[in-house]
Amino acid sequence: MGWLFGILGLCSSLLLPAVVNCQNGKNNVPRLKLTYKEMMELNNVVTFGGIANSSSYQAFLLDEEKGRLFVGAKDHIFSFNLININKDVLKIVWPPSPSRRNECKWAGKDLVKECANFIRVLQHYNQSHLYACGTGAFHPVCAYIEVGHRPEIKDNERKYARKDL
């Protein structure tokens, strides 16, 4: 119910006409897709400059308390600043082990496109840790990731306990 009132509130104030189309009776549900043009027209969009050697941004976890957006990608977990996604990016590099990659290759898979650790699950675990799982080049792996009380995951500083399934 709270959710419904939230949407009605948006409609009546017309704060986000591009997101919630309230004029058209049959379209009175929140839209899940926005075109690039519509996004840019909102005028409050910060576009992401991208990060070398990363792709497949597929798992997202918002941490409003720490002001971070955690994102699982190919071989990486990123921690972005909520205010400016291009500022102060922290990351953990988490590729499959070389032997896993080789096994994957020998099984006939594409080394670049498939034999990687695609992070698919990011969840809050407790006050100090996230729980993350990746495909691990066809051998799923999960780990507790320390995010601390301050928002930090430092590059090359593997402060997390990795746990292979």
Site for ligand NAG, rule CB under 6 A: 52-53, 125-129, 144
- C-beta of 72 vs 75, nearer to ligand NAG: 75
Angle at 147 between CA 145 and CA 151, to 5 degrees: 155
Instruction: Give the position of tokens 């519509």.
Output: 38
- C-beta of 105 vs 129, nearer to ligand NAG: 129
- C-beta of 12 vs 127, nearer to ligand NAG: 127
We find the least distance from the C-beta atom of residue 4 to ligand NAG, in angstroms, to be: 35
DSSP for 113-165 reads TTSS-BEEEEEE-SSSEEEEEE-TTTS-EEEEEE-TTTT---TT---SEEEE-
**Sign of CA pseudo-dihedral 154, 104, 50, 31:** negative
- Residue 32 has what DSSP assignment? S
DSSP for 58-82 reads -EEEEETTTTEEEEE-BSEEEEEES
We find the least distance from the C-beta atom of residue 144 to ligand NAG, in angstroms, to be: 4
We find the least distance from the C-beta atom of residue 93 to ligand NAG, in angstroms, to be: 8
Structure tokens at 19: 């997101």
We find the least distance from the C-beta atom of residue 46 to ligand NAG, in angstroms, to be: 22
- C-beta of 57 vs 144, nearer to ligand NAG: 144
We find the least distance from the C-beta atom of residue 146 to ligand NAG, in angstroms, to be: 8
- C-beta of 2 vs 49, nearer to ligand NAG: 49
